[in-house]
Amino acid sequence: MNVQAIREQFPILHQNVNGHPLVYLDSAASSQKPRSVIDAVSRFYEHDNANVHRGVHTLGSRATDAYEGAREKTAKFLNAASPQEIIFTRGTTTALNLVASSYARAVCGEGDEIVITQMEHHSNLIPWQQAAKATGATLKYIPLQKDGSIRLADVEATVTDRTKLVSVMYVSNVLGVVNPIKEITAIAHKHGAKMVVDGAQSTPHMKVDVRDLDCDFYAFSGHKMCAPTGIGALYGKKALLEAMEPVEFGGEMIDHVDLYDSTWKELPWKFEGGTPIIAGAVGLGAAIDFLNEIGLDEIERHEHKLAAYAYDRLSTIEGISIFGPVENRAGLVTFNLNDVHPHDVATVLDTKGIAIRAGHHCCQPLMRYLNVSSTARASFYLYNTEEDVDRLIDGLHQTKEFFGYGIG
């Protein structure tokens, strides 16, 4: 993988921030966009823009082809059985809420269980918490190991025949751990429960095959994988989606409307009421082409190497605590430096042109489990280099010095 050639394709990376060349280490929050994606969105607005599924005119059919073409690319990208299994949403949050509102609230009742973990992002925690409250179901948590990882024995011990749904993140946005989703899915299915996967941090960085995982639902966001903001998708097995009721009603999702009743379009459109994020979907299609061209396996290998290098170099800094397991990590490292507040760490690094994220990362229950209020996080993508890591390490030494800890 030629990282320098890849970097050339990301215009935003070539700028100085606060007088220093930008080092962008916040791709887990949102990735940067390559020229091909930016151009695809501009080209759509310059040549093909119109609403979809409506016009008989030429632009209308071009826009529809572009939008549905992006769905086909997304289906192939995840190895879904059919484009009908891909519902375009605003992102992971909307996709998970759709499952919670339409599926969980319909199937759960008093005495049933929804099983999640304490490492979940709020987007994969609150929808289930609220669905459990609304239906009388019990929300159960698979216990975590000290380092935050999950043991399959604990999954076995938590999931029961009363479990209707299990929902787990594939890759943690804080711990960097890759969870054994295929094995957890098998346990869920053994008990007749459905498996939901939060794929926000896996889809951009590794090959995902929903049929191999055998999960029932899978959610992801485009903006973390080189696509524009405002577009993502929910994958769901066709039979499940077919049985589910829409949660948003309006234009374009209907078959027939009467004064007192209505019927819905077939999949996937019954879940896509209103004018969709057409240019966003076009951008997502271009991002998928871009990632496929480089190869997800190559991207994953590059990020693992970089994260291991970062982990090793960070470990040598006196006073640092690194969170998450040592093994089985994806491309991010979360840490705290002495008792310097993570926001102060991020602020000092920003003066050196280095962008990292600090805060609770939308994982307040996990922060409580780790016994911290917030952490700093450096996350890597295909355009990051070892020099970026070196700049981070230098920046952290300077941060320590700034706060009076000396070089260590």
Q: How far is the CB of 221 from ligand 7TS (least distance, A)?
A: 3
Q: How far is the CB of 231 from ligand 7TS (least distance, A)?
A: 10
d(C-alpha 16, C-alpha 10), whole Å:
14
Q: With binding defined as CB under 6 A, does residue 150 bind ligand 7TS?
A: no
Q: Which of 27, 32, 74, 92 binds ligand 7TS (CB under 6 A)?
A: 92
Please answer whether residues 188 and 195 qualify as being in contact, where contact means their C-beta atoms are separated by less than 8 angstroms.
yes
Q: How far is the CB of 254 from ligand 7TS (least distance, A)?
A: 27
- Comparing CB distances to ligand 7TS, the nearer of 29 and 393 is 29
Q: With binding defined as CB under 6 A, does residue 201 bind ligand 7TS?
A: yes
Q: Which of 135, 149, 185, 221 binds ligand 7TS (CB under 6 A)?
A: 221
Q: How many residues bind ligand 7TS, per CB under 6 A?
A: 17
- Comparing CB distances to ligand 7TS, the nearer of 346 and 362 is 362
Return the ∠ at Cα 194 (arms to 238 and 280), rounded to 5°. 50
Q: With binding defined as CB under 6 A, does residue 93 bind ligand 7TS?
A: yes
The residues, any chain, with a CB within 8 Å of residue 188's CB and separated by 6 or more, are: 115, 159, 163, 165, 166, 194, 195
- Comparing CB distances to ligand 7TS, the nearer of 91 and 180 is 91
3-state secondary structure at position 256: strand
Residue 19: Cβ-neighbour burial (10 angstroms; 0-12, 13-18, 19+): exposed
Q: Which stretches within 79-113 are classed as H helix?
A: 92-98, 105-107
Q: With binding defined as CB under 6 A, does residue 121 bind ligand 7TS?
A: yes
Q: With binding defined as CB under 6 A, does residue 173 bind ligand 7TS?
A: yes
Return the ∠ at Cα 385 (arms to 209 and 296), rounded to 5°. 15
**CB atoms near residue 326 (< 10 Å):** 11
User: Restricting to residues 277-336, which ones interact with ligand 7TS according to CB under 6 A?
Assistant: none
Q: With binding defined as CB under 6 A, does residue 91 bind ligand 7TS?
A: yes
Please answer whether residues 217 and 195 qualify as being in contact, where contact means their C-beta atoms are separated by less than 8 angstroms.
yes
Binding mask 2-31 for ligand 7TS (x = CB under 6 A): --------------------------xx--
Return the ∠ at Cα 365 (arms to 318 and 367), rounded to 5°. 10
Stretch that binds ligand 7TS, among 59-67, 117-125, 127-135, 247-255 (CB under 6 A): 117-125
Please answer whether residues 114 and 127 qualify as being in contact, where contact means their C-beta atoms are separated by less than 8 angstroms.
no
Q: Which stretches within 9-84 are classed as H helix?
A: 35-43, 58-78
Stretch that binds ligand 7TS, among 53-61, 89-97, 148-156, 286-294 (CB under 6 A): 89-97
Q: How far is the CB of 23 from ligand 7TS (least distance, A)?
A: 17
Q: With binding defined as CB under 6 A, does residue 198 bind ligand 7TS?
A: yes
Maximum CA pair distance of the chain?
Answer: 74
Stretch that binds ligand 7TS, among 88-96, 336-344, 366-374, 397-405 (CB under 6 A): 88-96
Q: Which of 27, 124, 334, 384 binds ligand 7TS (CB under 6 A)?
A: 124
Question: Quick one: DSSP state of residue 267?
Answer: T
d(C-alpha 355, C-alpha 46), whole Å:
33
- Comparing CB distances to ligand 7TS, the nearer of 63 and 215 is 215
- Comparing CB distances to ligand 7TS, the nearer of 28 and 63 is 28
Q: With binding defined as CB under 6 A, does residue 169 bind ligand 7TS?
A: yes
Residue type, 125: L
Q: Which of 52, 168, 193, 200 binds ligand 7TS (CB under 6 A)?
A: 200
Residue type, 4: Q
Q: How far is the CB of 318 from ligand 7TS (least distance, A)?
A: 27
Q: How far is the CB of 9 from ligand 7TS (least distance, A)?
A: 23
d(C-alpha 187, C-alpha 97), whole Å:
23
Q: How many helices (H) and strands (E) does the chain have?
A: 15, 17
Q: Which residues are catalytic?
A: 362
Q: How far is the CB of 129 from ligand 7TS (least distance, A)?
A: 15
Structure tokens at 103: 């599926």
Q: Which of 357, 375, 381, 396 binds ligand 7TS (CB under 6 A)?
A: 357
Q: What does R_g of the chain's alpha carbons equal in angstroms?
A: 22
Please answer whether residues 78 and 186 qualify as being in contact, where contact means their C-beta atoms are separated by less than 8 angstroms.
no
Binding positions for ligand 7TS, rule: CB under 6 A: 28-29, 91-93, 121, 123-124, 169, 173, 198, 200-201, 221, 357, 361-362
